[in-house]
Structures are given as C-alpha cells and as structure tokens.
Amino acid sequence: MWGIELQRESGSGIPLSRQIYQQISRSILDGVIPPYEALPSTRELARTLGVSRHTVSEAYDMLLAEGYVCSRQGAPTRVVDGLRLERAAGGPARDEDGTYTQAGVGAETAVGGYAADFKTGQPDLRRFPKYVWTRLQSEAFSQLALEGLGYGSPDGYEPLRKEIAAWLFRSRGIRVPAGHIFVTAGATQALNLLADLLHREGKEFVIEDPCHPGILNLLRNRGFKYRPAPVDEHGLVVEGAEALFRHESGNGDGGGISAVYVTPSHQFPLGGILPANRRIALLRLARENSFYVIEDDYDCEFRYGGAPITPLYALDAERVIYVGTFSKTVFPSLRLGFAILPEPLHQRWRFLRMYADVQCPIVEQAALAEFLRTRKMDRHVSRLRKIYGRRREALLEAVKRRFGRAVLRVWGDNAGLHLALQFAEGRYGKDFSRKARKEGIRLSSVNQYSIARRDQHMDKLLLGYGHLEPEEIRSGIDRLHDFWHRGLPWI
C-alpha cells in the first residue's frame, strides 16, 4: 500500500514506525499522495504491512504532530494541502562514508609527516607530563561541585583566575588583580573578542608589518580596516612613524585608531624586543590619542639568556591589554589563554563573550588551576626553557656548519620557539616554501608575513625549532641545505 517497503532486519536501525512515517511523509512531499487524501485506517495499513496496529498508530502520530495530516473528530485523517516540495538537487551523497580529509586552513595546523618540520609555534608535546595531567584532570573534575557542570561565568573559573594572577607575579613580577583576568579559549579568542570590543566604526587597527597571521586574518574576517606599521630588528618602529599612531594619519584618510597590536617581548616573526624608548613613545601616543594597546605575549616564557622581559602592561595597566596563552607552556589543544582588561572594558567584554560561546569548558580550567597551584607549571616551564635553549644552540650550530657565510645574520632575540635566517642573497617567497614542502621540508619565509611592505624580507627564512630534538634539527638542516643548494635559482 502506497509503495511502503519496510526493512525488517533489526540491523537497519530505524524503527518500523519511523520507516512508515518517513515513506508517507516523503510521498506527501513528492506529491505522490495528494492533498486531502484520507489515510487508510490503522487496522487496514497494519494488516497490509504485516505490522502491529500500534506501530502504524505511532507513525500516524508523528505525521499528525508534524502537521503532514490533520484529523477532526468523526472524520478520517487527511493529508494537509500545500506540502509539495521538489527534492533538493544535490545534497549530501547518501553513500558517502563521512571520511573527511583535511584541506585548506585545517591542513596548516595538522601535525604533518615532514622529514624536516620547521613549523613555528610548536611546543614539544613529547615533553609534556601527560600522566600527571591526566591525574590532575580527573581529580579536579571529580572534586568539582555539581554547579561546576552547569553554566558558569563568562569571566572564567574563579580559582583559575587567582592562580593565573599568582603565576604572573611569580614569573613576570607583575601584580594583576584576579578580577582583571579573563580566561579565553587561547590567545586567538582573546584577540578575536578584542577586535570586536575595540573596533570603532571607520577607524583602523594598527598592526605590525610583518605580523602574526592570527590578528591579520581575524581583522580581515571581520572586515575591519588596519594600518600596517613598520618593524625592524627591535620590533615595532614608533619614532619617525608617529603619524601612524595618530587619529589623523597624514594619509588624508581622515580615519582614527581603534587600537594598536604589538608583540613587544618577542616580535613575530622578526624576534626583536621592543626597547624602552619605543614603549614609552607608544604609551604616550596611546594616552594622547586615547587608544588601547594590545600586547600579545605569545611565547614570553622562553627566554634563554637573562630574565623574562617585563610586559608593556607593567607600565600602564589602564592603556595596555595583555594577552597570554597556555598553548606553548601546557599544550595547544588545551585551548586556554587569557586577557587582562582594564575595568572600563569588563562589562562589554562579558556581554560579547556570553554570546560568543558563553565560557571555556570547566575541566581544563580546573586542571590548569591545580597545575599552577602545585607549581608543576613552574617546574615544567623551567625544564622546557633549558631544553628549548639547547635546541636553539643546536640549530645555530647546524646552520653555521652547513650554510656558513651564506647566512648573513640570525634575527631574533635569544628567546622563543623560532628564529629567522637572513641570507646573503636569495629570494624566498611562497614558491620556495611550496617547493620545499614537496621535498618534505616545512618552513616559511618571513616575507609570507609581510603586509604592505611586500618583498622587503625576501632574504629571510623562518625556522621553528621548539618541537624538534637536536638530532632532528641537524638532519632537518642537512635536508634543507641540500634542497637550498640544488635549487640555486632561488639564490
């Protein structure tokens, strides 16, 4: 009846009543069963299909509940008018097995199968105390009060905010009230919310050029305008470029400034430390022009000579918004970071966060609070610092041994997880990276991060090393040298 065919093997997974419902509703949509047609009685259809009346009743209830048919007392149940709908042309293929291969942006973030992988910003996951973390996580979760499972504060888990404040004091000597620390899903989300929070219609963000792609791409995603400001070996150039930091840029664009983004502890990608005079000049401009400065301190924990750089935030907690991350010190898929916000921004931030994703999940926050409270973080970071420092040495030695005087200079302070090599000659752009990748070498050229000042850094290659053992670094440099040597047209 009505062409209904039932799959009775229990393996089909769909209850018989739903199968009946699905086929009748499909027929109604296709116009096979016309409007006003009366449904057969449950007894009749049950007999025809060889199922129980209860099964048919259930199917009819579904059709009724969803408005495919309507019934009136004493009259038969009839098909509602006006339900004809042409089937969608394509739609997801029915036989697709759901296998999905990463492409595009996704692939960039995957841990690759490269013979020489100099991707930047990768901590060494092999050194992470996974066993300790698993235990902390279980303990933290099972000790959590029941309310912890419910919706929490968009500001972050209270004990974690306090532990971050204590950690900032221990590790960087800055005092921050826990109430000014807002937990985020990594630095990325902090920057994303800040873009929305600080954006002023028609005004521009000032960003570094070359710059970290995170901030650049999120501004582009939002359609927010930006001014790329020059960077040299010391980081953002302020003196001589003051016009860029004034509301009237002198370009006749008449725009103002939404905020300034800067990486003062270790400029990405060139590695400079912003000197005090530039810090002061920038803060003066911020005060005169009433803009906020976003300080992205993405890998400040790893400095191999001397003490950690004092954040810009320490100089002016009212004008500087500090953004930190635990992706490098704990692990990236933890997705925890934070922003330190001056009071006037708290209320609006909370509202934005609430409707962005409400809050970070609770487990990670509780586990991280314990990791910090028990000083396991301190020990872990101090161990990593020694390891990464040795790797940097290994990289420099290997480069010197292999490339000799072809490398003019190493850019970047004795810090972080990457450095840049400046070659005596050579033009390294996207093409170079692409061809290298085909040879199993992942690295980028500094030039790929340039915005307005194209081709200014064609002589520099960017190498991440934190995640590589010294042996991997040496063999990677051997491989890179081979490729570089063969590809003489590149230089």
Smaller CB separation from a copy of itself, 293 or 398: 293
What are the φ and ψ backbone dihedral angles of 207, each rounded to 5 degrees? -125, 165
Candidates 74, 250, 254, 333; binder of a copy of itself (CB under 8 A) is: 333
Q: Does 294 bind a copy of itself (CB under 8 A)?
A: no
The C-alpha atoms of residue 68 and residue 77 are separated, in whole angstroms, by 10
Residue 438 vs residues 115, 170, 361, 483: alpha-carbon distances, Å:
11, 45, 39, 11
Give the x/- contact pattern for a copy of itself in 206-225, rule: CB under 8 A: --------x--xx--xx---
User: Among 428, 423, 391, 385, which Cα is nearest to 406's?
Assistant: 423
What's the closest the beta carbon of residue 64 comes to a copy of itself, in angstroms? 9
Three-state DSSP at 96 gives: coil
Q: Does 273 bind a copy of itself (CB under 8 A)?
A: yes
Candidates 52, 277, 290, 382; binder of a copy of itself (CB under 8 A) is: 277
Q: Does 44 bind a copy of itself (CB under 8 A)?
A: no
The C-alpha atoms of residue 180 and residue 156 are separated, in whole angstroms, by 11
Give the x/- contact pattern for a copy of itself in 412-451, rule: CB under 8 A: -x--------------------------------------
The full DSSP string for 412-429 is: S-SBSSEEEEEESS----
Smaller CB separation from a copy of itself, 467 or 479: 467
Q: Does 275 bind a copy of itself (CB under 8 A)?
A: yes
Site residues for a copy of itself, 163-182, by CB under 8 A, read: 165, 169-170, 173, 175-180
What's the closest the beta carbon of residue 286 comes to a copy of itself, in angstroms? 10
Q: Does 91 bind a copy of itself (CB under 8 A)?
A: yes
Q: Does 363 bind a copy of itself (CB under 8 A)?
A: yes
Q: Does 360 bind a copy of itself (CB under 8 A)?
A: yes
Q: How far is CA 216 from the centre of its chain?
A: 13
User: Among 338, 332, 314, 343, which Cα is nearest to 160's?
Assistant: 338
Smaller CB separation from a copy of itself, 320 or 398: 320
Instruction: Let me know: does 151 contact 358? Beta carbons within 8 Å.
Output: yes
Q: Does 202 bind a copy of itself (CB under 8 A)?
A: no
Site residues for a copy of itself, 469-488, by CB under 8 A, read: none
Site residues for a copy of itself, 111-150, by CB under 8 A, read: 111, 122, 125-126, 128, 130-131, 133-134, 137-138, 141-142, 146-150
Q: How many CB atoms lie within 10 A of CB 111?
A: 11
Q: For residue 436, what are its two tokens?
A: 């290298």
Site residues for a copy of itself, 303-332, by CB under 8 A, read: 305-307, 309-310, 315-319, 327, 331-332
The C-alpha atoms of residue 340 and residue 338 are separated, in whole angstroms, by 7
Containing 229, the helix (H) or strand (E) segment is strand 225-232
Q: Longest C-alpha distance within the chain, in Å?
A: 97
What's the closest the beta carbon of residue 292 comes to a copy of itself, in angstroms? 12
Candidates 48, 52, 109, 374; binder of a copy of itself (CB under 8 A) is: 109
Residues whose CB is less than 8 angstroms from the CB of residue 48 and which lie 6 or more positions away in sequence, other chains included: 1, 40
- Which residue(s) pair with 462 in the sheet? 420, 444
Candidates 279, 380, 402, 418; binder of a copy of itself (CB under 8 A) is: 279
Candidates 33, 154, 205, 224; binder of a copy of itself (CB under 8 A) is: 154
Candidates 278, 380, 392, 479; binder of a copy of itself (CB under 8 A) is: 278
Three-state DSSP at 456 gives: coil
Smaller CB separation from a copy of itself, 244 or 317: 317
Smaller CB separation from a copy of itself, 345 or 407: 345
What are the φ and ψ backbone dihedral angles of 205, each rounded to 5 degrees? -90, 140
Containing 117, the helix (H) or strand (E) segment is strand 116-117
Smaller CB separation from a copy of itself, 355 or 471: 355
The C-alpha atoms of residue 484 and residue 403 are separated, in whole angstroms, by 10
Candidates 10, 99, 438, 488; binder of a copy of itself (CB under 8 A) is: 99
What is the signed CA dihedral for 116, 122, 125, 130, rounded to 10 degrees?
Answer: -170
What is the number of helices (H) and of strands (E) in the chain? Answer: 14, 16
Q: Does 152 bind a copy of itself (CB under 8 A)?
A: yes
Smaller CB separation from a copy of itself, 287 or 486: 287
Q: Does 36 bind a copy of itself (CB under 8 A)?
A: no
How big is the chain, counted in residues?
A: 491
